[in-house]
Amino acid sequence: MFSVGRMARMFGVSRATLLYYDAVGLLPVSNRSAAGYRLYTEEDRKTLATIRQLRGLGVPVGRIKSYLARKEEGVTAILLQRILAINEQISTLRDQQREVLSLIEGEGMLRGAMGHRSKNAALALKAGITANNYREVHRLFEKASPDTHREFLGHLGFTPRQVSALLKEVRKKA
């Protein structure tokens, strides 16, 4: 048997989380000690491991509860639903990203960014790009996603001629 505190420590959750799981019927307490303390069984420990794994994947508590009530149906349906939700989130984030860049561009914040070299240099340093590794960073970026790399350089204010020169230099030094 495991106490609430021990279960919480084993799974890196708070005591309140276990009490919440009990309150919503996700992980009801199996037993109580003579003093009335909650006690969990080995089966409860396995169930909590499943709950934590699914929560770590972003599966909502309600869906986990449904799954636990019908384990024999398997977890595939829940995981497929999660994949669809993740794809939707990615799509939404990409739309937001495009909108933010559009707004920034519309404000002229990205146009002429070459005039803000010191700002760009400071950002590059924060990102870990130094005079010693920038060629390798650009080479890897170009290799991984050439179109995105060129678009990024354009947003930074590089002209097509400057982009060509940079890429030529990166290829030559690689």
Q: What is the pLDDT of residues 10-34, one digit of tens each?
A: 999 999 999 999 999 999 888 888 8
0.75 cut: is pTM over it?
no
pLDDT tens sequence across 70-123: 888 888 888 999 999 999 999 988 888 888 877 776 665 544 444 455 566 666
CA–CA separation, 27 and 49 (whole Å)? 11
Instruction: Find all residues with CB under 8 Å of 154, minimum gap 6, and list them.
Output: 160, 163
**CATH topology assigned to domain 2-74:** Multidrug-efflux Transporter Regulator; Chain: A; Domain 2 (1.10.1660)
Six-digit token string for 24:
């919503």
Residue 1 has pLDDT above 80, yes or no: yes
C-beta neighbour count of 153 within 10 angstroms: 19
| Three-state SS annotation for 17-85 | HHHHHHHCCCCCCCEECCCCCEEECHHHHHHHHHHHHHHHCCCCHHHHHHHHHCHHHCCHHHHHHHHHH
